[in-house]
Structure 1
Amino acid sequence: MPATNQPRIGGLHLAAALPGAQAVGSRQVRVTGCTCDPRKVRPGDAFIAIDGPQGDDCRGVQLAAKRGAAAVVAERLLPIGATPQFLVEDARHAFGALCHALVGHPTASMPTIAVTGSLGKSAVAALASSIISHAGAQPSLSLGADTCLGSAAAAARWLADTMVSGATHAVVEASGTQLAAGALLGASLDAVCVTNLKADRGHGGQSPDAQRRQMLASLELLAPEGIAVLNADDPDCVRALAERDGPTVTFGVSPGADVSATLVERNASEQVFILHSGADSAAVRTEVIGDAHMQNCLAAAAIGLAYGADLTSIAAGIEAVRKLPNTMRPIRSGQGFPVFLDGARSPAALRGVLETAREVASGRVLCVASLNGETSLESSTVAAALSDQTYLIADNGPPRPGAPGRWFDDRFTALALALAVAEPGDCLVLAGHRADSRIEGLTEHEVVTTLLRQRGAQELQAARAA
């Protein structure tokens, strides 16, 4: 991941960018870039010693000085000769601050919204971007698959480029892992939305509790007048709300939430619900169905309200998003039963998807699911409890002992069998879908569409023969 930031020509005074730093040597140091990788130091760069050398191992800092570092930023004094040093309490925070200073502090003049949480981040970010667009602004959107949050340096450069390109707002999805890596350090966020904190497994070496703490810590990146958008139905968010003094907008079905919704109708093709905010209301019709999607819409609506959008613009922005990455995406090829692609793998996500499937099915619920080996026992137990038939595939290791269900070695075989046995009235959920996965060079949507067409052709031939 990028660990270097090169600014516009001219650079800046390091003491001005890090006003709280203690200078050892000259304070009159001008830097033209920064990096935390000693191999990438260029003459005039500030080298940030993140994590610091251990014991007497100063080779990284010495290499940086040898390559022409104008100064070293560290958490303790290092034996590196005449190179000026700037001592700080937290080198990672200093790196983030310097990355943003070098590109002109883009978040100071371009409202930037971060969306974090255990579930629904991509959907909420995409919906919020659409709402902001329908309110007359020009947002730029970065989802988890993008690389803009690979590091603080990459994030600062992307935000600067986004502002130069004419964007009025930036909306970024931020995972707990990215936040833990310091990807948004140095940014001054205009709003942070926490979708929920239902983490039931860790990521990037972090425990679920550590993930939750990191997501809530993103609120500390808010500007003084920044707005927290919190889930009133989530216990951890409610606790954070009780401790917060700054502006806050809440969403959920709980009484008192600033934005709520009432479901009017739901079937396999669409759902209709009413958005409520105070005395105002607006109807929303979406092709993406399920309680989870309705909750995502509420989170995005709360972001819209925080920016002064009216409910009519918010509803239009939601309805303009016809499909979302890995979120109950319907596959229609003339078959007599609904088929949905969804990215659900965790127990909580699977439960939400399969409960929606049960709601719209008049027959059986069939579930094909690729599950992470480490949580396969919990996830497969949910799948078995809420489905009539399961077709399971273990990723990242074998299934845990005792994991229920029928297990397959590859996803294509499971898909083909489930599609072959599905009948009119059934609902087939293809969970654990990855948008970038390919089967024989085809996307999963293309593979399923092909299999459905083959099934339709065979049924037509059989009918003619009869």
Structure 2
Amino acid sequence: MIVRTHPTVVHGTLVSSALPDAQLAGGSDVAVNSVTDQFAAVRPGDAFIACEDAGDVHSAAKAAVARGAVAIVSERFLPVFGVAQYVVDDARNAYSQLCHAILDCPSSQLNAVAIAGGHGKTSVAMVLDSILNIAGRNVATASNQFTRIDAQRSRFVLPTTAPAVAEFMDEALASGCRQAVVELSEESLRNKVASAAEFDVVCLTNLHGDHAEGDLSPQACRDAMATALEMLTPHGMAIFNADDQDSMRVLAEYDGPALTFGLSDTADITATIAEQHTNEQMFLLTAGDETAAVRSKVIGETHVANCLAAAAIAKVYGVSLSDIARGIERVTVVPGVMHRFDAGLGVSVFLDRGTTPIARGAALSTARSVAAEKVIAVVDHACSVTEKLADKTIDTHGLANEEVVTEAVAKVLAALEVSDNKQLRTITEKLTGIALAVMSASEGDVVVVCGLDSRTARQRRVSVSMSEEQLIQNLMYELAAQQKKAA
């Protein structure tokens, strides 16, 4: 549903004005203030979008009219009478168009950025948000992990529906922001939730997803992610990952303004890693003739690449390299990206939520580069990548009854409220696997907890009273106390 985020006199938006190519198949043109694609959410006076991929559109449209819908938007004429019916080529696209029109097209009044790709989107959004704030820009950012409006955490709205994207941009504008950053997943792009938005920068972090979603082929997924470029304004800037072959193939066929980033020598924005340790890394960031030294608490080449993507976007908006460096350095933790835990045990523990082989490989390769001794992987299911890159792999499946760490894990679980027993068992297995890894490690070893929880921050927050990061840190403290007691 559409809800304005600032006071205004609402006169309604003519559906024909928002959808000029639609054919009015019945009734008279109407003005609406709200639209939804969920018939159960329809309120009197709403427009209802009947999407063909959502089930029985005829029954849904009839139910919407019964609830008070005054307009039906569909891809074919439906035998539903007494309301205005608009036939369009693409209902999903029409949904986005109508949402933005009702809110007076807020993206046209913003410097809007879309971040799309297989992975790394949230990291890029987080770093870019930090850079733009350091540079004194009023920015609103909606990502898979957080929503922030002008440096303040806002109501949690995932940019996964057409109303959510439009409302986020409306809220950004109402809050005085001039820039808006939106993370768009492959599914969001397929559903065209932001197709009516105007972006003057689109960044493709990469197109090399390891697996297709649902029944889609890997190529179909890559094609869906590349459609983000279609949302660029006529003079907008596209940003590509020079280290990603699929992105470079798209760039070869792209005829608009473009920048590239990557750790290769051919990129416009590049970097060289000078030092790498378990608690920080230092790299030299180069943009044209300028170079800046950047010290980051988040380690790994993947993080550096994400920083370069954010730097490329910032350069489009004229941010200085010194502000870019300061913005990167201010980000000390990226949730789920080589998140480091330490309780004085002499063992570094990293959480990396990457679930694909490429993501796991990157995390373990980073651990290998900073480990003084062994690399121990903790995974929900062993795979060829962990077996190849780790000295030891602990599979957490079935570890809930492990007795050797019952005391430490039990103390952590005692402070936890979980919504169901199945989830409690899963958490117990994860913590037990981590505890076993830490207890078997020697000083200088690195433990990497790989891809154990790929759900969004909101999903984790709703179902569990404590974040995964808090659980692991508390476990580390309990293990340290247990070790001290034993000594």
Q: TM-score range with shorter-chain normalisation? A: 0.7 to 0.9
Residue 217 (structure 1) aligns with: 227
Residue 300 (structure 2) aligns with: 290
Deviation at residue 418 of structure 1 after TM alignment: 0.7
Name the CA distance, whole Å, in 2 between partners of 1:298 and 1:284.
11
Closer/same/farther in 2, CA of residues 70 and 351 from structure 1, 3 Å limit = same
Name the CA distance, whole Å, in 1 between partners of 2:87 and 2:170.
27
Closer/same/farther in 2, CA of residues 439 and 106 from structure 1, 3 Å limit = closer
Please state whether the residue corresponding to 1:345 is helix, strand or coil.
Answer: coil
Query: Counterparts of 1:3-402 in structure 2 under 5 Å?
Result: 4-6=1-3, 9-25=10-26, 28-51=29-52, 58-145=58-145, 146-371=156-381, 380-394=383-397
Q: In structure 2, what residue type is equivalent to 1:427? A: V
My pick for the range that moved more, 46-55 or 326-335, is 46-55
Residue 435 (structure 2) aligns with: 416
% identical equivalent positions: 39
Deviation at residue 334 of structure 1 after TM alignment: 1.5
Q: Does structure 2 conserve the Cα–Cα contact (< 8 Å) formed by 1:439 and 1:447?
A: no
Deviation at residue 345 of structure 1 after TM alignment: 2.0
Name the CA distance, whole Å, in 2 between partners of 1:221 and 1:33.
23
Q: Does structure 2 conserve the Cα–Cα contact (< 8 Å) formed by 1:114 and 1:192?
A: yes
Closer/same/farther in 2, CA of residues 130 and 45 from structure 1, 3 Å limit = same
Deviation at residue 53 of structure 1 after TM alignment: 9.6
Q: In structure 1, what residue type is equivalent to 2:259? A: V
What is the aligned residue count? 441
Give the TM-score normalised by structure 2: 0.84
Please state whether the residue corresponding to 2:268 is helix, strand or coil.
Answer: coil
Name the CA distance, whole Å, in 1 between partners of 2:225 and 2:157.
19
Please state whether the residue corresponding to 1:256 is helix, strand or coil.
Answer: coil
Deviation at residue 213 of structure 1 after TM alignment: 1.5
Q: Does structure 1 conserve the Cα–Cα contact (< 8 Å) formed by 2:238 and 2:259?
A: yes
Q: Does structure 2 conserve the Cα–Cα contact (< 8 Å) formed by 1:190 and 1:227?
A: yes
Cα deviation 1:76-96 (Å, max 9, x = unaligned): 223333533222211111111
Structure 1 alignment gaps of length 5 or more = 396-406
Name the CA distance, whole Å, in 1 between partners of 2:93 and 2:117.
22
Closer/same/farther in 2, CA of residues 251 and 461 from structure 1, 3 Å limit = same
Q: In structure 2, what residue type is equivalent to 1:93? A: N
Closer/same/farther in 2, CA of residues 46 and 295 from structure 1, 3 Å limit = same
Give the TM-score normalised by structure 1: 0.87
Name the CA distance, whole Å, in 2 between partners of 1:85 and 1:444.
48
Cα deviation 1:110-133 (Å, max 9, x = unaligned): 122121211211111100111111
Structure 2 alignment gaps of length 5 or more = 146-155, 399-425
Q: Does structure 1 conserve the Cα–Cα contact (< 8 Å) formed by 2:376 and 2:393?
A: yes
Cα deviation 1:235-287 (Å, max 9, x = unaligned): 11111111112221110123331100011111112111111111111110001
Closer/same/farther in 2, CA of residues 161 and 416 from structure 1, 3 Å limit = same
Cα deviation 1:123-149 (Å, max 9, x = unaligned): 111001111112220111222145332
Q: In structure 2, what residue type is equivalent to 1:161? A: E
Q: In structure 2, what residue type is equivalent to 1:389? A: K
Q: In structure 1, what residue type is equivalent to 2:249? A: R
Q: In structure 2, what residue type is equivalent to 1:176? A: E
Q: In structure 2, what residue type is equivalent to 1:318? A: I
